Amino acid sequence: MKLSAAIRKFDKPLMIVAAAAALTAVLLNFDFGLFEAKLYDLRMSVGYQPKPDSRIVLVTLDHATTKALDEFSPLTLDVHTRFLEQIEKLGPQGLGYLIDFNRVRETNPDIQKEWALKFLETANRIQSRGTKLMLGTPYDVTGEIVPPYPLGSLPHAIAVVHKDGNVFAEDKVTRRALLELNDKPVFHLDFARRLSLLGETQLPRGAYQVPQVDGRYFFFRYHGNTAYHAGQATKLPYPSISFLDILQGKLAPGALAGKIVLIGTLSKEDWSDYAYTPFSREPFVNSKLVVHANILDSVIRQDGVMLAPSWVNVLITFAVVTFVLSWVVSSSPIVGLVSTIGLGFVFILFATVLFQSEGFWLRIAEPLVGILLSYYLAVPYRLIREYQKRWDYQRKNALLTQVEELKTNFLSLVTHDLKTPVARIQGLAEVLQRKAADRLVDRDMETLRSIIGSTEELNHFISSILELSKIESNRIKLAPESKDINQLIERAVDGFKAAARARGITLTAELEPLFPIKIDSSLIFKVINTLLDNALKYSPENSEIRISSREQGDWVEVAVSDQGIGMSSEECENLFTRFYRAKNETTAKVSGTGLGLYLTKYFIEAHHGRVEFDSEPGHGSTFKIFLPLVPPAMGAASGADVEVNKVPAWNRMWKREKEKSYV
């Protein structure tokens, strides 16, 4: 039994965890590469971008150069040899040649080998002076420089700009760079190692293996202003110098000392010089030379993007799905919606801040889709449960309505049937007391008086039950008439004088002259009787009970004060509850139904009035009723005028559930 109870206690959390695990497993089997790529681009394009490395300088073989030389890009070998002779004077730290020498040709084939040897001689001389020179092959994945040129003896490697086309996003955007292919370093990694800016076996931050191509990649950072318009003169993020300016010797000797120079083509006519980047699409693209500079910058400064392990993605997805399912299933609709939206915003903000500040990439796609999907799966489940509850409540409503009707009918029948024999008993006892008083001994007379008193109490109880049944069936009709309430008070006081005198209690009436007001005189008379009866029951002998009336603003106030036992705060909270009686030695000796004050409150509120009281244990109580001088139209007492205790418990419960419903 205990085990089954424990299982039932945790069945809902276990169900939520199981559903979250299943949904997480489904999400991780889908490819959200393109969606994740767009979210990656968004994080890359907003916020802080690191400043470009001031050591990197770009030399652009641009349109001005080809126009001035009347040549086509990438120029002839003799031009590159003269360029190399000029840049030798400028003393750079490193020289990265990103011109495809497999496309460089001489106009005169007979002298192309001669110029190739001169280029090789100049390159070797530059290297002997401490400048690290490296050739890159932007279009050849083998990294080789083919004959007839003997340039293959120079340091060279693959310099292909990678486009995400098969593994990550499949949208041809450049977000990551190749580091190694077949265990051989590519241009940027090899160049950084030759410049002694990276250890011989060291890899950039965020490097990871891609088994499909037997290579290593990393997601590099873009630095500074990354947008470049192919058709407009827009400032590049790195310092740039025209190829023509160096060829014509316009720079002072030593101008590039300590700089890492990257040489590449940048022509408006050749779209192969450009690449799509995370920031924009056509016509806003980045120069491939700028992309190479950003890759090299990320390698030498170790600021690549670190991708979170896959298990972190699994845990985060499971956690957010569990959170959403828990809140939507267990809380109110508005709380579930707000918490879901809030969780999505907080997670995106956290992932973005972590990406910008630490370069740590948390995947957003699966958790974000998990948040939305779990919410839209949990809501129908919640609706099904709500409909089931509503159906249960409707059935209970119908059943309880029948029970209420049966109870009301039963009470009406029983009480009506009881009133006749009780009245007969009381009448016969009174006749016997009157006719045989001189022939009965004192003990028999006391028995008759006890019978008469008991029948009066029973008759009072039956009348209260009848009034209660009328209230619950909403069958009480007010019969308002203009009446001086002081007359009702005087009549009620006269009725209690004998009982008060027998106990030595003084009844004092302090009544101000009042205009007649619209009231149901029979109900208000019952209210005054109830207040006086209670005061008399719970007052000690030789004490005083005061009843007063006065006009107070728009109200007529009637107050009944006694010097009785008073009430505690706990008793005051339940004072107007049906059948409630305080449990103490004094009240246990006093007969009562526990309906008097409940009916009092109902009758006064039916007149659009109110009841107030003040009580302190051992110092008596004061009850005040307030009736409006000019009341609204009064007919059948409306449900709005009745205290909540009158409403059946099942109805109150249904209202609470309805407030939390999605329906």
Query: Is residue 258 assigned to a domain?
Result: yes
Residues 155 and 143 in one domain: yes
pLDDT at 140 over 70: no
The residue-averaged pLDDT of 201-218 equals 88
Alpha-carbon distance of 89 to 661, in angstroms, equals 81
Q: What is the model's pLDDT at position 115? A: 82
Residues 88 and 43 in one domain: no
Q: Are 164 and 170 in contact (CB under 8 A)?
A: yes
Residues 235 and 367 in one domain: no
Residue 414 phi, psi dihedral angles, 5° rounding: -65, -45
CA torsion sign for 84, 90, 91, 97 is negative
Residues 153 and 286 in one domain: yes
Percentages (nearest 5) of helix, strand, coil residues in the chain: 50, 15, 35
pLDDT band at 148 (very low <50, low <70, confident <90, very high): low
Question: Does an H or E element contain 567, and which?
Answer: none
Query: Is residue 67 assigned to a domain?
Result: yes
Residues 386 and 499 in one domain: no
Q: What is the pLDDT of residues 174-187, one digit of tens each?
A: 888 999 988 889 99
Q: What is the model's pLDDT at position 150? A: 74
pLDDT at 135 over 50: yes
The residue-averaged pLDDT of 394-402 equals 78
Q: What is the model's pLDDT at position 3? A: 47
Residues 98 and 225 in one domain: yes
Of 12-26, 143-157, 341-355, the range with the lowest mean pLDDT is: 143-157
Query: Is residue 656 assigned to a domain?
Result: no
Residues 549 and 627 in one domain: yes
Query: Is residue 5 assigned to a domain?
Result: no
Q: What is the pLDDT of residues 572-628, one digit of tens each?
A: 776 777 666 666 555 545 555 667 787 888 888 888 899 988 888 878 888 899 999
For residue 154, what are its two tokens? 């120079």
Residues 582 and 464 in one domain: no
Q: For residue 621, what are the β-bridge partners?
A: 615
Residues 276 and 416 in one domain: no
pLDDT at 643 over 60: no
Q: In this structure, how many other beta carbons lie within 10 angstroms of the beta carbon of residue 281?
A: 11
Of 283-287, 367-371, 518-522, 559-563, the range with the lowest mean pLDDT is: 283-287
The residue-averaged pLDDT of 323-351 equals 87
Burial class of residue 528 in the structure, from the number of CB atoms within 10 Å of its CB (0-12 exposed, 13-18 middle, 19+ buried): buried
* CATH number of the domain to which 576 belongs: 3.30.565.10
pLDDT band at 233 (very low <50, low <70, confident <90, very high): very low
| Number of domains composing the chain | 3
Q: Are 510 and 547 in contact (CB under 8 A)?
A: yes
Domain span at 322: 16-50+316-474
pLDDT band at 142 (very low <50, low <70, confident <90, very high): low
Q: What is the model's pLDDT at position 31? A: 82
Residues 470 and 481 in one domain: no
Q: What is the model's pLDDT at position 125? A: 92
Nearest to 134 by CA among 101, 103, 112: 101
Query: Is residue 367 assigned to a domain?
Result: yes
Residues 142 and 214 in one domain: yes
**Does the pTM exceed 0.85?**
no
pLDDT at 191 over 90: yes
Of 240-249, 300-309, 392-401, 546-555, the range with the lowest mean pLDDT is: 392-401
Residues 125 and 235 in one domain: yes
Question: Does an H or E element contain 487, and which?
Answer: helix 485-502
Q: Which amino acid is at 652?
A: R
Per-residue DSSP letters for 98-147? -S-TTS---SSGGGHHHHHHHHHHHHHHHHHTT-EEEEEESS-TT----T
**In a 3-state reduction of DSSP, which class is residue 515?**
coil
pLDDT at 630 over 50: yes
More confident position, 270 or 362: 362
Q: What is the pLDDT of residues 40-89, one digit of tens each?
A: 888 887 767 788 999 999 999 888 888 888 888 888 888 888 999 999 99
Highest mean pLDDT among 57-61, 434-438, 463-467, 537-541: 57-61
The residue-averaged pLDDT of 376-392 equals 80
pLDDT at 143 over 80: no
pLDDT band at 653 (very low <50, low <70, confident <90, very high): very low
Query: Is residue 640 assigned to a domain?
Result: no
Q: What is the pLDDT of residues 490-505, one digit of tens each?
A: 998 888 888 888 888 8
Q: What is the model's pLDDT at position 229? A: 39
More confident position, 140 or 72: 72
Query: Is residue 311 assigned to a domain?
Result: no
Q: What is the pLDDT of residues 406-457, one digit of tens each?
A: 666 666 666 556 666 767 777 777 777 777 767 777 777 777 777 877 777 6
Query: Is residue 9 assigned to a domain?
Result: no
Q: What is the model's pLDDT at position 474? A: 62
Q: What is the model's pLDDT at position 497? A: 87
Give the chain's mean pLDDT: 79
pLDDT at 315 over 90: yes
